[in-house]
């Protein structure tokens, strides 16, 4: 199973959509969380679930903060921030269901609802609302694997790349409180590893006690810095294997 996220920076132009589709075809992710996306961009999967249309009502209705695309049937789940988050329970044809929560948290300079951007107020308020969703959904589906993917607008490496020290502390605490860890943080950041000094602000987070074995995260395109004519974000993905088989009891002599 491969999960991936990519901020498409509003792919309105057909040429950009064709090039993006070439990248998504190569990645072959089973589930995509696409952010700052557009209803006309489809990675070829039959099932999808989106945040509210129109990006906070400021743009055309076909613009979305978040769309989850899945090769498998999905069950939409309610979030407390329907403008900037979407969640779904993925129902594979074989194997147990799992949950994906897609998000765009406020960036530096972005307000959220009535909260101004200054001092990280918007980031902190939006994070608190969405983190309450993570806990609520995990309580409702305690046996499901749970993943948070999307544009968290905060690097989780040192030296710092984007965001603020306070926002990083708040994000790390929210993940920890929900029993989650970012697979794209620290030494696991594929962008800092392969395109330093850039670093991931788009993350893939999983349960700390996940039974799925995660391979190292990867990033694309394979370039030193994002190609801004395409999008100013790298995409990131993580491939997972299922839990190891239970040990077999020794046979009686």
Q: Which domains, ranges and CATH numbers included, belong to the chain?
A: 2-241 (3.60.10.10)
* pTM for this prediction: 0.93
pLDDT of residue 244: 56
What integer pLDDT is reported at residue 243 of this predicted model? 67
List the chain pLDDT tens, one digit each, 253 residues: 999 999 999 888 889 999 999 999 999 999 999 999 999 999 999 999 999 988 766 667 789 999 999 999 999 999 999 999 999 999 999 889 999 999 999 999 899 999 999 989 999 999 999 999 999 999 999 999 999 999 999 999 999 899 999 999 999 999 999 999 999 999 999 999 999 999 999 999 999 999 999 999 999 999 999 999 999 999 999 999 976 554 554 544 4
What is the predicted pLDDT for the residue at 11? 85
* Residue-wise DSSP of the chain: -EEEEEE-S---SHHHHHHHHHHHHHH--SEEEEEEEETT---S-SEEEE--BTTTTTS-TTEEEEEEEESS-EEEE--S-TTTEEEEEE--SSS--EEEEEEEPPPTT--BTTB-SGGGHHHHHHHHHHHHHHHHHHHHSTTSEEEEEEE-----SSS--SS-HHHHHHHHHHHHHTTEEETTSGGG-HHHHHHTT---SEEEEEETT-SSEEPPPEEES-SSS--TTT-SS-EEEEEEE-PPPPPPPPPP-
């Amino acid at each position: 199973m491969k999960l991936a996220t990519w901020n498409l920076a509003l792919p309105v132009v057909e040429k950009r959509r064709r090039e993006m589709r070439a990248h998504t075809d190569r990645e072959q992710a089973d589930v995509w969380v696409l952010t700052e996306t557009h209803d006309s961009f489809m990675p070829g999967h039959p099932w999808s679930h989106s945040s509210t249309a129109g990006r906070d009502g400021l743009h055309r209705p076909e613009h979305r903060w978040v769309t989850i695309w899945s090769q498998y049937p999905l069950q939409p789940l309610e979030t407390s921030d329907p403008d900037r988050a979407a969640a779904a329970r993925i129902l594979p044809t074989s194997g147990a269901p799992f949950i994906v929560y897609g998000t765009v948290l406020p960036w530096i300079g972005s307000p959220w609802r009535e909260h101004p951007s200054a001092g990280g107020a918007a980031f902190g308020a939006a994070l608190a609302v969405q983190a309450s969703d993570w806990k609520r959904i995990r309580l409702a589906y305690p046996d499901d694997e749970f993943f948070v993917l999307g544009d968290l607008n905060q690097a989780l490496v040192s030296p710092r790349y984007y965001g603020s020290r306070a926002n990083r502390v708040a994000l790390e605490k929210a993940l920890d409180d929900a029993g989650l860890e970012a697979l794209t943080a620290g030494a696991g950041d594929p962008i800092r590893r392969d395109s330093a000094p850039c670093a991931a602000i788009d993350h893939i987070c999983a349960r700390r006690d996940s039974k799925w074995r995660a391979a190292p995260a990867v990033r694309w395109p394979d370039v030193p810095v994002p190609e801004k004519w395409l999008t100013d974000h790298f995409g990131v993905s993580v491939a997972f294997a299922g839990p190891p088989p239970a040990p077999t009891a020794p046979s009686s002599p």
